[in-house]
Amino acid sequence: MLKVEGISRRYGDLTVVDKLSFTVNEGEFVALLGPSGCGKSTSLKMIAGLEMPDEGAIELDGRDITQLSPGERKLAMVFQSYALFPHLKVEENIIFGLQARKVSKDEQKRRLDSVVELVGLGDHLQKKPGQLSGGQCQRVALARAIVAQAKLCLMDEPLSNLDAKLRNEMRTEIRALQQRLGMSVIYVTHDQVEAMSMADRIVLMNDGKIEQIDVPKALYNNPQTIFTAQFIGSPPMNIIGSGKNRLGIRPEHIEISDKGMPANVVSCDYHGADTIVLADVGAAGEDQKLVKIRYPGHAMFEAQQRLLIRWDSGNEHRFPN
Amino acid sequence: MSSWFQVFSKTSAYLLGLVWVLPLLYAFWAAFHPPEYATQFSLTAPLTMENFASAWEQAPFFRYMLNTIVITTLILVSQLFLCTLAGYALAREKFAGRGFAFALVLTQLMVMPEVLIVENYRTLAGLELVDTYLGVGLPYLASAFGIFLLRQTFKTVPQELEDAARVEGLSGLGIIWKVFVPLAFPTYLAFSLVSVSYHWNNFLWPLVVTNTEASRPLTVGMAIFGAPESGVDWSVISAGTLIAIGPLLILFLIFQKRFIQSFMHAGIK
């Protein structure tokens, strides 16, 4: 449905987005994931029309929209700061776009009612955004995006201003809404948990380029690059060895056993359900080579305690380059 | 120590306020009492409205008032319109020479309008606008101060709000009207008050450029009315002054709270 073909954005000598290409299918939830400064927000702005790509094309339903103004693209967008108009009531904020596009009053009312029910804002319609909590503001922003019934909804880190508990709730809620309404969504985030738990497919970006596009499971199980391997999963994948012999092994795949590779405990970090053990696998006299081991349950090893660790060779990852 | 300082600063504030308001109090005293009490204070002095009646008869105050209202409104409306567009352009549009254009506007802030009176008169005479409303208003139709103030306010409007409005399908002018203007409302109010009180009270330029009742504002009318050669009657002049400042005074008293809030908000002192 949406086709992004080789778009780039440069500021002077700095290339922020470098020949980015990907597609979004009807009803699909695609996450644009990457560390801050990787160009994901700029990419989203180019799709929204708020920034113009220096090269490349963007197609929506087979129509080239690269040169269209943001309004002409008829997309919906949820902003990180919610971007609610402080001088308008919640109700007016939600139908702001419908008024701008001169949708009939009856239709406005009908859509407002149904969307208010969807996101649960019934009691707050007459309030100003300043009187709402962060979570409620987020709902208003969502409602404004849904009410537009746009072909594609863009979300720019919409949950990053919420506290952890609310973030988890909203994550589930947004995903449920998206599936119920069959919305096509591009969701920008730097939080791999958000991307992994919500998205149908993830576009992982680094330094303006695409590292890998895949479904969450494949991204986790078959990372194509070391960057992907270390970005997805927490704690990140251990990379052992160098050059052609580099191999990756996830902390949760390492077992503490009675035979295998010797490792000296450096420290333990207890998380409740499991303990992250930091250990040194470098031979005596060599530089430290640290690995993280996820140990189920509570385990407080002494520093310098000697352990033996092993893993199934099926869980090893190799990287082509 | 600090309580002493508080007492001191409060007392001086009241004292200064009293000194400042004295002329106004005197005008009220003189206007409502017969002329023989204009320079002496007595609690038993009879109240009278006579001075207002004679002031109203002796000079075409109604016409002057109308002129002042029309001129002030003309200037205000045009200033708000032009300053909004210029302020938005200087705050948000990227164009070559923007910094230079803004510097020019700031430079203009430093030029006293009185310096330009002769040149402005020549220009207006060339346009045959002497003794017209437009003639009185023309030099003030745009305001460097207003442009500066609105530019600063518009700069504080978050970019995401503008982006959101744009995505929702508003045009450039629509965004100014629906987003920037409402958000800058306190600034508009504060600026309007400054502008209205300045132009309501403006004297020198209207004196130069008006010749007849057709365009003469209250201030100039008052000056002619109270000119020494026509004999000074303080009571009647005070009554005339009250008529002249009345509308503005009432307006200010009604919206006092609002105005002060706006000034605090807009950061004008």
In angstroms, what CA-CA distances link A227 with A78, A81, A238, B1, B146? 28, 29, 12, 65, 53
**At CB < 8 Å, which residues of chain B contact A?**
158, 160-161, 163-171, 174, 178-179, 182-183, 185
- Using CB atoms, which residue from A49, A87, A100 is nearest to B168? A100
Q: Determine how β-strand A63-64 pairs with β-strand A76-78.
A: unpaired
- Domain membership of residue B12 (yes or no) is no
CATH number at residue B185: 1.10.3720.10
Question: B167–A50: do the CB atoms touch at under 8 Å?
Answer: yes
Residue B228: which pLDDT band, with cuts at 50, 70 and 90? low
Classify residue B231: in a domain, yes or no: yes
CB contacts, 8 Å: A111 with chain B: none
Q: Is residue B19 part of a domain?
A: no
pLDDT over 90 at B181, yes or no: yes
Q: What is the pLDDT of residue B266?
A: 64
Chain A residues with beta carbon closer than 8 angstroms to that of B169: 70-72, 74, 97, 100-101
Contacts of B165 in chain A (CB under 8 A): 85, 96, 100
- pTM, two decimals, is 0.82
Regions of chain A where pLDDT drops below 50: none
Q: What domains does chain A contain, in order, with CATH numbers?
A: 2-226 (3.40.50.300), 247-310 (2.40.50.140)
Q: Which pLDDT value is given to residue B242?
A: 87
Tokens matching residue A4: 């992004």
pLDDT per residue over A30-85, tens digit each? Answer: 999 999 989 999 999 999 999 999 999 999 999 999 999 999 999 999 999 999 99
Residue B23 placed within a domain: no
Point out the residue among B163, B171, B174 whose CB comes nearest to the CB of A79.
Answer: B163
* Residue B20, domain member (yes or no): no
How many domains does the structure of chain B reveal? 1
Tell me the C-alpha distance between A181 and A26, whole Å.
12
Q: What count of CB pairs under 8 Å joins A to B?
A: 64
CB within 8 Å: B169 and A80: no
Is B17 within a domain? no
Closest CA to B180 of B207, B158, B148, B149: B158
What is the pLDDT at residue B226? Answer: 67
User: Domain for residue B173, yes or no?
Assistant: yes
Is pLDDT at B252 greater than 50 in this prediction? yes
B83 occurs within a structural domain: yes
Closest approach of A87 to chain B, Cα-based (Å): 7
Q: What is the pLDDT of residue A65?
A: 94
Lowest mean pLDDT among B36-45, B80-89, B234-243, B248-257: B36-45
What pLDDT, in 10s, does the model give residues B22-67?
988 888 888 888 877 777 777 777 888 888 888 888 778 888 989 9
Q: Domain range holding B94?
A: 61-266
Q: What is the pLDDT of residue A219?
A: 93
Say if CB A238 and CB A291 are below 8 A apart: yes
Contacts of A74 in chain B (CB under 8 A): 169
A82: nearest Cα among A193, A148, A189, A161: A161
One-letter identity of residue A118: L
List CB contacts (< 8 A) between A49 and chain B. Answer: 166-167
Are the beta carbons of A80 and B160 separated by less than 8 Å?
yes
CB contact under 8 A, A96 and B161: no
Between residues B158 and B259, which one has the greater pLDDT? B158
The tens digit of pLDDT for each residue in A102-112 reads 999 999 999 99
Asked if the C-beta of A109 comes within 8 angstroms of chain B's C-beta atoms, the answer is: no
Binary contact (B166, A69; C-beta < 8 A):
yes
Average pLDDT in chain B: 88
Rounded Cα distance, B78 and B73, in Å: 8
Q: What pLDDT, on a 0 to 100 scale, did the predictor assign at position B219? A: 86
pLDDT of residue B269: 45
Q: How far is B178 from chain A (nearest CA, A)?
A: 10
Q: Which residues in chain A are closer than 8 Å to B170, comparing Cβ atoms?
A: 71, 100
